[in-house]
Amino acid sequence: MAYSEFTEKDYELIAAEYAILKEEARGRCADEEELAIVQRAFDFANDAHKNIRRRSGEPYMLHPIAVARIVVEDIGLGCKSITAALLHDVVEDTDYTVDDIRNLFGDKVATLVDGLTKIKNVLDTGDKTISDPLAQQSLQAENFKRILLTLNDDVRVVLIKLADRLHNCRTIQHMPEHKRDKILSETMFVFIPLAHQLGLYSIKSELENIWLQYKEPAAYKEISAKIGAFVRERGKDMEAFLAPVDAALQKAGFHYEIKRRVKTPYSVWRKMRDKQISFDQVYDLYAIRIIFDADQKFGNTERDQCWRVFSIITDIYRYNPERLRDWVSNTKANGYEALHCTLIGPGGVWFEVQIRTRRMDDIAEKGIAAHWAYKKDGYIGEENSEIESWLSRVKDILQNPDVSSLELLDIIHNDLTSSDIFVFTPKGEQRTIPKGSTVLDFAYMIHTEIGNRAIAAKVNMRLVPLSRVLRSGDQIEIITAEEGTPKKEWLQFLQTRRARNVVMDYFRDERKQSIEQGRKMLTEQLQALGYDELDDETKRRLLFHYQLGSMDDLYLRVGLGIVKIGDLHEYFAKKTGRAGSRFWMLPWWRQKKNDGPVPVQGGYAIATCCNPVPGDSVIGIKSPDGTITVHKKSCPVADSVGTKHGDWIVVPKWGMDPSAEQFAVQIQLKGIDRIGLVNDLTKTVSLLLNANMRKIYLASEEGLFEGYIEVFVSSRKDLDTIVSKLQKIDGIESVVRKEL
């Protein structure tokens, strides 16, 4: 931030933006008295931030106004939240205190502002220089733990923080690159999953697109251009598809609206990456939302009415049964309800149709905030909803003393991003459980004592072990024994945090014994690798590798068998440059306090999780032993590490002559099999492009083939050339790069 006298134009700009906010706030305030409170908050904040500018040069006051507008438009919160959004930076950036806010605006607004101030303080702490990198790592993770604790105080604090993060991301181009990478890593690892879990679809989508725009700029630009071209070419197809649907719904007497939606660049990129397909193979680019007013003349329940709409449109078009998603019968954990189907329209174009009532649409767009509007006293916890259950799970995790802050970040991230499946009790009662859960996880979900005494189970009437992974639709019967007790080996396969906690608590009396056993096992393993002493440097590297906060945490997990140490040979070999590890002596860049670059000589290691090549957008992570590991900016591992210790992010630069080095890449292929295909492939790669191909694998079945080739390239440009040439070979339908 900078101090500079405002001009008349600055004051006019602030007034114009606030006028828009005030009009929007009018619809969320109960009366003129509440609107007057919003006005007082604006006047107070405007005076407090007078002559203060952001990095962009704009008046700082435009930021809290923008945050307040997101709070109203995208989340739908009311007077107190709008007021808190306008005031959210006053305590941090001026001489005013929380008590000043309390005296002027009351306890609730002061509590919200205090929570937001604490969140900002703990996030910014990650930028401060701390001599011990492990202390820095633990501090930043502890800070995120404090942020998540606010979920249990007032969810509105996190909702307003999400609005603040969205506006900061909208203006992120004004940040230096290393700061931008830190913010985007935090956003992808914590804030985007949090927005998803809280049902804030529009905020989640915009944050994802901004992340892609800066993490993979070339992919963002290319996909955006292709989406634009597709819309221009197929716009008439959508109109042709909708005309008979519109007529049929009107004839049936529905009061409705139809919204057109095109898949976002991020969602296209994610689908291409996850499914290893090309843009042309993304068939659900278009989505149509039919939003109608619930009316019992179309069915007794909203679910019945959604199916009535479904029957009307499927009388017109054929649908794909494999892509039918019934979220009205099985509500998502974030409260989302809708009926999804994919239909083939004129010209053979597939359209995804989402069928919702007005209430369902409000919840889909505004998430957890919309639930308040549909409850008598405006409190989310009035019913035992899926969101309330999730908040309870978060509270249990946060209050567990055995969970280190670093471990907690991974637990929360996995919990936020995990998919749920639906299973059934012997009596046919439906239960929701995280995907990947085992039979024993289900037993503990039913009741602690059932889990403790479990010895086996029947799944779909067949006897199975407790470690059996559940699938959606399974019916489970737990078999128990009166003398049954928890077993340490259960920790090897239990997936849910609650179940693991119960088992670990059972063995709490053996904690010292387990720690000592783990210490002995780890020491013996390290001695076998030639490490005679467990010195401070080795401890730092071990805690960094296993992402734990203390050696006792590590010893305990090794002793209980939760942490496996069989990969230590590979880990230490890689860090010391043995076992074929690839290192360069290239210039890298770190940031001074004034954000200026300083060239330094250091060792580089290429991350094997994403295998970047020169020309990719890359990020550097400096580990405790000083090694700079280069990742693609879009690498999930880089986002995870950057979130836990943002101060370790550096901006790497490729060497002056990257062509001297060769990088292995894998290219996946699919298409129609024919005689001579392999010959054409090898000829194109080896002879025409003069590339070194080290492996080829193709499998053919019923006239179709799929497989991959591994080649060495010196740059992204070389890789793009190979992909382009391969796409022109007769019979090849899909050519996609895959990380090794």
SS (H, E, C) 115-171: HHHHHHHHHHHCCCCCCCHHHHHHHHHHHHHHHHHHHHCCHHHHHHHHHHHHHHHHC
Cβ-proximal residues to 322 (8 Å cutoff; 6+ apart), any chain: none
Token output for 500:
């693991």
Q: Which stretch of 44-53, 310-319, 550-559, 648-657 has the lowest confidence by average pLDDT?
A: 648-657
Q: Mean pLDDT across the stretch 68-95?
A: 90
What size, in residues, is the chain?
740
- The Cα–Cα gap between 155 and 81 comes to 11
User: What sign has the CA pseudo-torsion 395, 398, 403, 409?
Assistant: positive
- Please tell me the distance from the alpha carbon of residue 492 to that of residue 469, in angstroms, as a whole number: 13
Is 588's pLDDT higher than 70?
no
Which range has the worst mean pLDDT, 171-185, 203-217, 600-614? 600-614
Residues forming beta bridges with residue 707, ordered by sequence position: 669, 698
Task: Determine contact, residues 309/289, Cβ cutoff 8 Å.
Answer: no
Instruction: Kindly tell me the burial class for residue 676, based on how many C-beta atoms sit within 10 Å of its own C-beta (0-12, 13-18, 19 or more).
Output: exposed
Q: Which residues contact 31 (CB under 8 A, 6 or more apart)?
A: none
> Is-contact 680 727, C-beta < 8 A?
no
Pick the closest to residue 158 from 86, 85, 93 (CA basis).
Answer: 85
Per-residue pLDDT at 371: 60
Pair 704, 731: CB distance under 8 Å: no
Q: According to the model, what pLDDT value does residue 220 have?
A: 95
Whether 260 has a pLDDT exceeding 80, the answer reads yes
pTM as predicted: 0.71
Q: Is the pLDDT of residue 245 over 60?
A: yes
Q: Name the residues annotated as catalytic.
A: 92-93
Residue 577 has pLDDT above 50, yes or no: no
Query: Which tokens go with 718?
Result: 């070389």
Lowest mean pLDDT among 158-172, 449-463, 671-685: 671-685
List pLDDT tens digits, range 528-562: 766 666 777 777 777 767 767 678 878 887 887 77
H or E element: which one contains 108?
Answer: helix 107-125
Rounded distance, CA 178 to CA 589, Å? Answer: 10
What local confidence, expressed as pLDDT, does residue 631 receive? 87
Contacts of 139 (CB under 8 A, 6+ apart): 125, 126, 130
Q: Nearest-CA neighbor of 202 among 336, 27, 20, 367?
A: 367
Per-residue pLDDT, averaged over 321-344, amounts to 85
- Are the CB atoms for 85 and 163 separated by under 8 Å? yes
- Of the candidate ranges 144-148, 188-192, 281-285, 673-677, the one whose mean pLDDT is the lowest: 144-148
Q: Mean of the pLDDT values across residues 593-607?
A: 47
Taking 90 as the threshold, does the pLDDT of residue 700 lie above it?
A: no
pLDDT band for 396, please (50, 70, 90 cuts): low
Bridge partners, 668 (sequence order): 708, 736
CATH homologous superfamily of 418-506 equals: Beta-grasp domain (3.10.20.30)
d(CA 386, CA 294): 23
- Tokens at 348, concatenated: 């053979």
Which of 625, 629, 626 is closest to 611 using CA atoms? Answer: 629
Quote the percentage of the chain above a pLDDT of 70: 79
Domain 662-738, what architecture?
2-Layer Sandwich (3.30)
Mean pLDDT check: name the lowest of 51-65, 336-350, 590-604: 590-604
The tokens describing 203, both together, are: 């905020």
626: region left, alpha or beta (phi > 0 left; psi from -120 to 50 alpha): left
Look at residue 145 in the predicted model and tell me its pLDDT: 63
Q: Which CATH number fits domain 217-366: 2.102.10.10, 3.20.19.10, 3.30.460.10, 3.40.50.2000?
A: 3.30.460.10
Question: Burial level of 728, CB count in 10 A (0-12/13-18/19+)?
Answer: exposed
- DSSP three-state, residue 363: helix
- What would be the CATH architecture of the domain defined by 2-200? Orthogonal Bundle (1.10)
- In this model, does residue 417 exceed pLDDT 90? no
Give the three-state DSSP class for 462: strand
Identify whether the C-beta of residue 552 lies closer than 8 Å to the C-beta of residue 513: no
Give the CA dihedral 39, 40, 43, 46, nearest 10 degrees: -90
pLDDT at 346: 83
In the chain, where the domains are located = 2-200, 217-366, 418-506, 509-575, 583-659, 662-738
